[in-house]
Amino acid sequence: MTMLSTNRNSNRVETTSIMKANRAVLQVVMAQQTSDGAGVNLKRSIGKHSLSELDPFLLLDEFRSDDPNDYIAGFPSHPHRGFETVTYMLAGSMQHQDSNGNTGNLTAGSVQWMTAGRGIIHSEMPQQEDGLMWGFQLWVNLPAKDKMCVPRYQDIPPADVQEYVLENNGLIRVIAGQSNGLEGPVKDVVTRPLYLDVRLPEQAQWTHPIPSHHTAFVYVFEGEGYFGKTETDPGRKISSSHLGILGRGDTLMVETGDHPVRFLLLAAQPLNEPIARYGPFVMNTRSEIEQAFQDYQNGRF
Ligand code: FE
């Protein structure tokens, strides 16, 4: 008991100092080449054995190719239940269709935030026969109380993603959350995500706040930069196709040297709930997964 009461005080001090700290990079994970859908080649950084999840993030894929053989097969009809899928396009065009008759075109710079909830069956197929197809798919978990919610889409055209130009000519696209007084177009997501696409030129320094209780990571997809410098940590160099998991704190510091860098900064509230996962279904228990299969097979999606 003495230990507890003593620690309570020192914990408070420690928490305060953490609150004001820069976040360090705890671990750097290299994205792995894999294939999904009907044979789309992509790089996966979350959702594979070495990083199966980063609560509440369940998956991060980058698809980037100018060879149609890498993407033309697309993602034909498949179900989802229990989480959210987020597509962010940088180049190319995909057509989206679902079992409720919704349809939409995902073009360069656009975002689709789909809350699968209790269930959706959809397809994402390339709308091009050649040229560059480039983008990201992120999966964000839902808490138990929202896993069976009514499915919802937020289809965001490129023009609705506000951009902030930094003094050093860097550029921030604000997809979700807040940055430099701009508010992302994605609204009312239960895990309160921050989703930024950040470009920094060479010889630049950039600091950005991140809600202190959020899980956070960066994914570098062009160039390289030095991430996570703190009072006690020199920071880590992270280059293209690598993900950096950020430690606790409430800001991130990024510096560049001789190369520019472009990366995603993602943060969201962790759920701290059990995860039962099988393919396109992510629930809390194994029996809920079995129920998802039954519902899907019996046409209840
Ligand atoms: Fe999907």
CATH of residue 240's domain is: 2.60.120.10
Query: CA 161 → CA 113, 173, 181, 228, distances in Å?
Result: 13, 6, 13, 26
> Quick one: tokens of 171?
């550029």
Mean pLDDT of successive 10-residue segments in the chain (301 residues)?
A: 36 48 97 95 95 98 96 96 98 93 93 96 94 97 98 96 97 98 98 98 98 98 98 96 97 98 98 97 98 95 88
**Cα separation of the two ends of the chain:** 52
> Residue 14 in 3-state DSSP?
helix
- What's the confidence (pLDDT) of residue 280? 95
- What's the confidence (pLDDT) of residue 3? 35
Query: CA 231 → CA 18, 64, 217, distances in Å?
Result: 11, 37, 19
Beta bridge partners of 91: 134
pTM for this entry: 0.92
Q: How many angstroms does the Cα of residue 121 sit away from the middle of ligand 1? A: 8
Q: How many angstroms does the Cα of residue 247 sit away from the middle of ligand 1? A: 30
- What's the confidence (pLDDT) of residue 100? 83
Q: How many angstroms does the Cα of residue 217 sit away from the middle of ligand 1? A: 22
- What's the confidence (pLDDT) of residue 276? 98
Q: How many angstroms does the Cα of residue 116 sit away from the middle of ligand 1? A: 9
Q: How many angstroms does the Cα of residue 39 sit away from the middle of ligand 1? A: 14
- Would residue 96 count as lying in a domain? yes
Q: How many angstroms does the Cα of residue 291 sit away from the middle of ligand 1? A: 19
Q: How many angstroms does the Cα of residue 85 sit away from the middle of ligand 1? A: 7
| 208 in Cβ contact with 251 (< 8 Å) | yes
- The per-residue b/e assignment along 125-159, b for 16 or more CB within 10 angstroms, e otherwise, is bbeeeeeebbbbbbbbbbeeebbbeebebbbbeee
Number of domains in the chain: 1
Q: Give CA–CA dist 86/44, Å, rounded.
A: 14
Q: How many angstroms does the Cα of residue 122 sit away from the middle of ligand 1? A: 6
Q: How many angstroms does the Cα of residue 105 sit away from the middle of ligand 1? A: 14
Half-sphere exposure in the Cβ direction for 217 (13 Å, CA): 24
| 88 in Cβ contact with 53 (< 8 Å) | no
Asked, as a colleague might, if the bond just before 56 is cis with ω within 30 of 0, I would say yes
- Would residue 283 count as lying in a domain? yes
Q: How many angstroms does the Cα of residue 54 sit away from the middle of ligand 1? A: 19
Q: How many angstroms does the Cα of residue 223 sit away from the middle of ligand 1? A: 29
Q: How many angstroms does the Cα of residue 178 sit away from the middle of ligand 1? A: 27
Beta bridge partners of 287: none
- Would residue 13 count as lying in a domain? no
- What's the confidence (pLDDT) of residue 298? 95
- Would residue 28 count as lying in a domain? yes
- Would residue 160 count as lying in a domain? yes
- Would residue 174 count as lying in a domain? yes
- Would residue 64 count as lying in a domain? yes
Residue 225's domain spans which residues? Answer: 19-297
The residue whose two tokens read 């950096």 is 244
- Would residue 12 count as lying in a domain? no
Reference 226, options 250, 251, 200; nearest CA is 200
- What's the confidence (pLDDT) of residue 49? 86
Q: How many angstroms does the Cα of residue 93 sit away from the middle of ligand 1? A: 16
